[in-house]
Amino acid sequence: MNKKFELLLFDADGTLYDFEKTEKYALRKTFADFGLTYNEAEYLPVFKSVNLQIWKEFERNEISAEKLKTERFVRFFNALKIECDDCVEFGKKYLLNLSEENSLLPGAKNLIEELAGEFRMAIITNGLTIVQRKRLYNSQLAKFWDAIIISEEVGFTKPNKEIFDVAFGKLGCKDKSKALIIGDKLTSDILGGNNYGIATCWFNPEKKTNTSEIKPTYEISKLYQLKKIVG
């Protein structure tokens, strides 16, 4: 029986990997490393807001990966009205701490183990090399990927078509109708897949209402639901 899809492209953070946990750990650890008092209830929401905005700028090619590493902490500390003696070093340490954490979301390991051998699978992430290489290559899922495409390494981000060109080139895939991208971000994963002409699956665990013009081919709220879509 012919499968509907042959190639599955997975986003990493927020789709398979628990970035909420990773982010909390890294910010708390970095404050401790610099001997600074950390108030998670106050600081974490501010950082999340600043970080979300700057990654949107990154997706739109409005800021470079290199500048992002420091600029987010410049904005973060400015928002908190805290003096940052060296935001460059703070940013570097934060990235190293991020790279140490690679916890998976519930159901991720079981899903990928069940799909292994049935499909070609790859990670395609808008991430920074220093963080994602260590996290992804040292995780429980590392052995299952035919390729890991990291935006900083290839020079293009989702939703730009060029990062999909790289993925398809690495995987030797020519038939777009046989590919599916699975991700939690409408503006990068789903928009990118739509623009590239491949099927898209929005992982929406919080069951948010989609008020945007970006429409996924499929939508799931639990990872195991993907099995019915791919057959």
In this predicted structure, what is the pLDDT of residue 1? 46
**Which residues of the chain does CATH 1.10.150.240 include?**
19-99
**Which residues of the chain does CATH 3.40.50.1000 include?**
7-17+102-230
Domain 19-99 falls in which CATH fold? Answer: DNA polymerase; domain 1 (1.10.150)
DSSP the chain: ---S-SEEEE--BTTTB-HHHHHHHHHHHHHHHTT----HHHHHHHHHHHHHHHHHHHHTTSS-HHHHHHHHHHHHHHHHT---S-HHHHHHHHHHHHHT--PBPTTHHHHHHHHBTTBEEEEEE---HHHHHHHHHTSTTGGG-SEEEEHHHHT--TTSHHHHHHHHHHHT---GGGEEEEES-IIIIIHHHHHHT-EEEEE-TT-----SS---SEEESSGGGHHHHH-
85 among known catalytic residues: no
Q: Which of 11, 13, 184, 189 is catalytic?
A: 11
Q: What is the pLDDT along the chain (231 residues), one digit of tens a residue?
A: 468 999 999 999 999 999 999 999 999 999 999 999 999 999 999 999 999 999 999 988 899 999 999 999 999 999 999 988 899 999 999 999 999 999 999 999 999 999 998 999 999 999 899 999 999 999 999 999 999 999 999 999 999 999 999 999 999 998 999 999 999 999 999 999 999 999 999 999 999 999 999 999 999 999 999 999 998
Pick the CATH number of 7-17+102-230 from 3.40.50.1000, 1.10.3720.10, 3.40.50.720, 3.30.420.40: 3.40.50.1000
In this predicted structure, what is the pLDDT of residue 231? 80
